[in-house]
Amino acid sequence: MSQTKSTSGTDRTDAAGLEETIAYLAKRHRVSVAIVREIARKLGSAERGAIEREIERGKSRR
């Protein structure tokens, strides 16, 4: 028998938390939400510090 975990509840809270973090970072760094989402996707990490470092790195290139 295969066992499946019911993680739909935690997925929703994780997704909501991620969207909240993305919205916060976009507002804080004055960039679009889409840019922050793309950075998070590219990094493969939802860690706030890593995303902030990448945003700053991108700003310094301009």
- Please list the rounded mean pLDDT of every run of 10 residues in the chain (62 residues): 58 81 94 94 89 91 75
CB atoms within 10 A of CB 51: 21
Residue 45 near residue 51, CB atoms below 8 Å: yes
Q: What letter represents residue 23's amino acid?
A: A
Rounded to whole angstroms, the Cα distance separating 22 from 37 reads 7
At residue 18, the pLDDT reads: 87
CB atoms within 10 A of CB 31: 15
At residue 28, the pLDDT reads: 94
Residue 33 near residue 26, CB atoms below 8 Å: yes
At residue 8, the pLDDT reads: 58
